[in-house]
């Protein structure tokens, strides 16, 4: 660990030295450079955190996988399935939680990983499934240490808040947030009892949990709760030397961002939307929102392996960050702007982006309503009627 921290500090010092030299040469003999010292140090640490995992030439202290096991939820497809294969080939014994233990994803894991993976039926919304999974893990550890829990299971349902009933919120909170909490509460005692000093709980959050996305409010709420839960849990488990890490991806092309799946969810939500709301919004708005949603989903990055690589780092590296944001360079600039721009300005930008689609009906209704209010107010005060 000492060597790893040394390499990291050397990287920070190198970046700091380059930035400091540049600043000194450009504003030499000016007191202003003193004000830049703190800023330079901050930028150096941020750049080091970005560069650190990407430079393979820098030696990293790794966790010895021998006699260590990892539990992963949501291994039917996507990130979970790929991560289970990677960790099994790395040398960990993997307990792969699958919603369909006889499905194609589970069978693929059995075939590719053979004796290094144990498939477990695990619906994270079911107390009975979690209790049964705990029993299986206890029986199958056989002297191994449960090193890490990876809470990967999650869903996405894209609708606006007024569309549909409470199903979207309930379902996403139950799987994305409460499912994470349920699995964590069940398996953390096994990490402690199996003697895994420095064990890990790795929760998959989302950039949407930091910056709420219009049309995905329910999803953003559930992921914000996961991030908050992770921060509190990390501080509580510090006394047991158990670390808690969040993986926060931008949009990536998985089953969650499938256009047809999200279109079906939107249609089902619209069917149960109150008639008064349907009347106010209109079919034109629904079609425009569908176009907006398609544009957002089409922007999802295909480089799924970059998320899996980050998850592997969170499990296998001895020196890890409490959170990892996984996104492209362009998205990183945009998210950085979201971090520092005024909230009202972000509201305006978001409104403009959505209004680029066919959202005319609600805006016309709002304008008409505002004019009527002004007219009534003017009449009641005896003034000249506004036109």
Q: 174 in a domain, yes or no? A: yes
Cα distance between residue 247 and residue 323, in whole Å: 6
Q: 361 in a domain, yes or no? A: no
Domain match, 249 and 323 both: yes
Domain match, 18 and 162 both: no
Domain match, 35 and 103 both: no
- How many structural domains are present in the chain? 2
For 188-206, how does the pLDDT look when each residue is reduced to its tens digit (9 = 90+)?
999 988 765 779 999 999 9
Point out the domain boundary residue: 339, 354, 372: 339
CATH number, domain with residue 105: 3.40.50.720
Q: 293 in a domain, yes or no? A: yes
Cα distance between residue 387 and residue 374, in whole Å: 9
In this prediction, residue 253 has a pLDDT band, given cuts at 50, 70 and 90, of: confident
Share of the chain above pLDDT 90, in %: 53
Give the SS3 label for residue 200: strand
Domain match, 48 and 186 both: no
Question: 26 pLDDT exceeds 70?
Answer: no
Which residues, 6+ apart, have CB-to-CB distance to 108 below 8 Å? 81
In this prediction, residue 379 has a pLDDT band, given cuts at 50, 70 and 90, of: very low
Q: 359 in a domain, yes or no? A: no
pLDDT given for residue 1 in this prediction: 45
Looking up tokens 């010292």 gives 37
8 is catalytic: no
Answer with the residue of higher pLDDT: 207 or 36.
207
**Tokens found for residue 339:** 């971090």
- Residue 257 backbone dihedrals phi, psi, to 5 degrees: -105, 20
Q: 30 in a domain, yes or no? A: yes
**Tokens found for residue 228:** 């908050």
pLDDT given for residue 341 in this prediction: 84
Give the SS3 label for residue 322: coil
pLDDT given for residue 374 in this prediction: 37
In this prediction, residue 370 has a pLDDT band, given cuts at 50, 70 and 90, of: very low
Q: 355 in a domain, yes or no? A: no
Catalytic residue among 219, 281, 285, 289: 219
Beta strands in the chain (DSSP E): 68-72, 93-98, 117-121, 145-151, 200-204, 243-249, 323-326
Give the SS3 label for residue 84: helix
For 345-367, how does the pLDDT look when each residue is reduced to its tens digit (9 = 90+)?
888 888 877 776 545 555 545 54
Give, in order, the Cα–Cα distances in Å from 380 to each of 366, 374, 377: 21, 10, 5
Could you tell me the pTM of the whole model? 0.82
Domain match, 193 and 156 both: yes
Are the C-beta atoms of residues 147 and 71 closer than 8 Å to each other? Answer: no
Cα distance between residue 83 and residue 75, in whole Å: 8
Q: 348 in a domain, yes or no? A: no
Burial class (CB in 10 A: 0-12, 13-18, 19+), 356: exposed
Domain match, 45 and 131 both: no
Domain match, 188 and 39 both: no
If you count them, how many residues does the chain have? 387
Closest CA to 94 of 102, 103, 83: 83
Closest CA to 230 of 156, 177, 154, 193: 177
Domain match, 110 and 251 both: yes
Domain match, 168 and 286 both: yes
Domain match, 45 and 190 both: no
Q: 37 in a domain, yes or no? A: yes
Domain match, 167 and 45 both: no
Q: Could you tell me the residue range of the domain that residue 308 belongs to?
A: 68-339
Domain match, 116 and 231 both: yes
């Amino acid at each position: 660990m000492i060597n790893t921290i040394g390499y990291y500090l050397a990287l920070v010092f190198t970046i700091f030295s380059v930035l400091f030299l540049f600043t000194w040469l450009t504003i030499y003999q000016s007191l202003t450079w003193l004000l830049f010292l703190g800023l330079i140090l901050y930028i150096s640490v941020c750049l080091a955190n970005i560069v650190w995992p990407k430079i393979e030439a820098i030696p990293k202290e790794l966790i010895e996988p021998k006699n260590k096991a990892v539990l992963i939820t949501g291994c039917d497809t996507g990130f979970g399935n790929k991560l289970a294969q990677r960790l099994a080939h790395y040398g960990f014994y993997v307990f792969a939680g699958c919603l369909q233990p006889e499905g194609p994803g589970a069978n693929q894991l059995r075939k590719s990983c053979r004796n290094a993976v144990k498939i477990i039926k695990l619906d994270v919304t079911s107390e009975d499934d979690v209790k049964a999974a705990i029993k299986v893990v206890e029986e199958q550890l056989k002297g191994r240490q449960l090193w890490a829990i990876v809470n990967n299971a999650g869903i996405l349902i894209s609708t606006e808040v007024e569309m549909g009933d409470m199903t979207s919120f309930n379902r996403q909170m139950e799987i994305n947030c409460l499912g994470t909490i349920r699995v964590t509460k069940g398996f953390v005692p096994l990490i402690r009892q199996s003697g895994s000093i420095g064990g890990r709980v790795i929760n998959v959050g989302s950039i949407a949990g930091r910056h709420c996305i219009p049309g995905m409010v329910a999803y953003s709420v559930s992921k914000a709760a996961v991030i908050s839960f992770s921060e509190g849990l990390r501080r509580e488990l510090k006394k047991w030397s158990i670390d808690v890490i969040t993986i926060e991806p931008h949009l990536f092309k998985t089953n969650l961002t499938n256009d047809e799946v999200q279109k079906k969810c939107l249609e089902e939500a619209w069917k149960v939307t109150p008639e008064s709301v349907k009347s106010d919004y209109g079919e034109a708005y629904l079609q425009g929102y569908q176009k907006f949603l398609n544009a957002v989903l089409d922007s999802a990055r295909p480089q799924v392996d970059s998320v899996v690589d980050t998850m592997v780092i969170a499990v296998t590296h001895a020196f890890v960050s409490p959170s990892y944001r996984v996104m492209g360079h362009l998205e990183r600039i945009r998210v950085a702007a979201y971090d520092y721009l005024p909230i009202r300005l972000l509201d305006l930008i978001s409104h403009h982006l959505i209004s680029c689609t066919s959202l005319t009906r609600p805006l016309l209704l709002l304008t008409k309503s505002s004019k009527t209010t002004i007219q009534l107010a003017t009449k009641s005060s005896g003034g000249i009627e506004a036109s």
